Structure 1
Amino acid sequence: MAITKEKKESIFTQYGGAATNTGSTEAQVALLTERILDISKHLQANKKDFSSQRGLIHLVGERKSLLSYLQKTDLMGYRALIEKLGLRK
């Protein structure tokens, strides 16, 4: 269920530009999206795991705030990231 170190490095390399660029907004959103997908899969199998459900809601809110920040500061980067991750249809 946890994301491996190699997976994190590949996400940061793909979206942040370098494996050490962990602070970029795009990389953080991509990492949160990966964690949200993992927890969603877990909750489909374990419907009564309410603590994980609460954590999922927290992660979605955190991703939403990062996306709204990115939309205000870099609209073209926001649109490109949404397209890459396939978030909004």
Structure 2
Amino acid sequence: MERDAELRRNGHLYEIASVNDEVLGSRQGFPASEAGYRKTLDSVLDIAGPDLMDEVAASIKDHIRTHEERPANQAVRKDARKLVSKAGYPPDDYLNAA
């Protein structure tokens, strides 16, 4: 992974954590969610590039704000798979497993 892409991904993970803290006020269960989000963002980045990764990260943050709960990683992977496919890229095994 290129350094710029890694920094961009880490920035999204930091923002997701900030939104989590702001909306939910608790990090209980967050480390496991964050690990799943990281894998999903990495997968999208490898398949389709940083712009689609940005969309997936934005959808996670929007879900937390709208529903006041963290989305399950399986749901995030399904949404990511749809975005990747719609953009014309074949999903990898990780996204297809959702």
Q: What's the TM-score bracket when you normalise by the shorter of the two chains?
A: 0.3 to 0.5
TM-score, structure 2 as length reference: 0.32
Instruction: Indicate the structure (1 or 2) with the bigger Cα radius of gyration.
Output: 1
